[in-house]
Amino acid sequence: MDAFSLSGLRALVTGGSRGIGLALARGLAEAGADIVLLSRDPAGLEAARGKLASTGRTVDVHPFDMERTSEVAAMFHRIVEGSGPVDILVNAAGVVLRGPAEEVSLADWDHTIQLNLTAVFALSQAFARERIESRRKGRIILIASLMSEGARRNCAPYAASKGGIRQLTKALAVEWARHGINVNAIGPGYIQTDLTRPLWTDPDFDAWVRGRTPLGRWGVPEDLASTAVFLASPASDFVTGQIVYVDGGWLATF
């Protein structure tokens, strides 16, 4: 099982104050990685740091709004200067704005694409530049979605952003493989988080998800952690450009 160990490595997790980001950070910490959490919520970051204390790993926190894409590279440099080199990057920050496509404002469209796609590229680029310059290998994990493959009504900006993540995963994997940087994504199914609360608290939608998912339940953020450890560890040395769907069998049925 040594191939799954992250001992001696440091992971930066965006959106790390709660939900999927926090669950992935805990999984990586339990596998041995020191953690850097990034979120725009300072109080949430301090609460998350406390929740990870039991892992025994070093946990640094950095408040930052990932929509400030022009500042991402400088922010990443400050983290490396202050916390040390980052070996694993997990891009978990994201947003969903729901509504009929004909009513979506361009401001809401820009907000979704900026956070879910542009910021992901900006931070991945900053990470890759540092890895290439230092001649060190690295791992990047993006967060895809069932809507990287299909779409639902009332989610056009989100579906567009996650379709972009699907292709960005492949493009970056192909481009940076020669530098020893593996780029993969995790594709969650329907996961119970604060972001999806309007869905899992709706009795009709809840019943639809449970009935449509072969394993018969919603996922929880912790269901994704082991996949993140795999993609961050030497166990996945020959895996790049892939989306691993953790969806209870959702995409396997029709």
Catalytic residues: 158
DSSP 8-state class, residue 233: S
19 conformational bin, left if phi > 0, alpha if psi -120 to 50, beta if neither: left
Q: How far is CA 233 from the centre of its chain?
A: 16
DSSP 8-state class, residue 229: H
- Helices 42-52, 19-30: inter-axial angle, 10-degree rounding: 30
Based on the number of CB atoms within 10 Å of its own CB, is 235 exposed (0-12), middle (13-18) or buried (19 or more)? middle
Find the angle CA(72)-CA(185)-CA(226) to the nearest 5 degrees: 110
CB 209 within 8 A of CB 200: yes
Dist CA 81 CA 40 (whole Å):
20
Q: Give me the amino acid identity at 35.
A: I
Q: Which residues contact 139 (CB under 8 A, 6 or more apart)?
A: 87, 88, 89, 181, 182, 183, 184, 231, 232
Q: Give me the amino acid identity at 138.
A: G
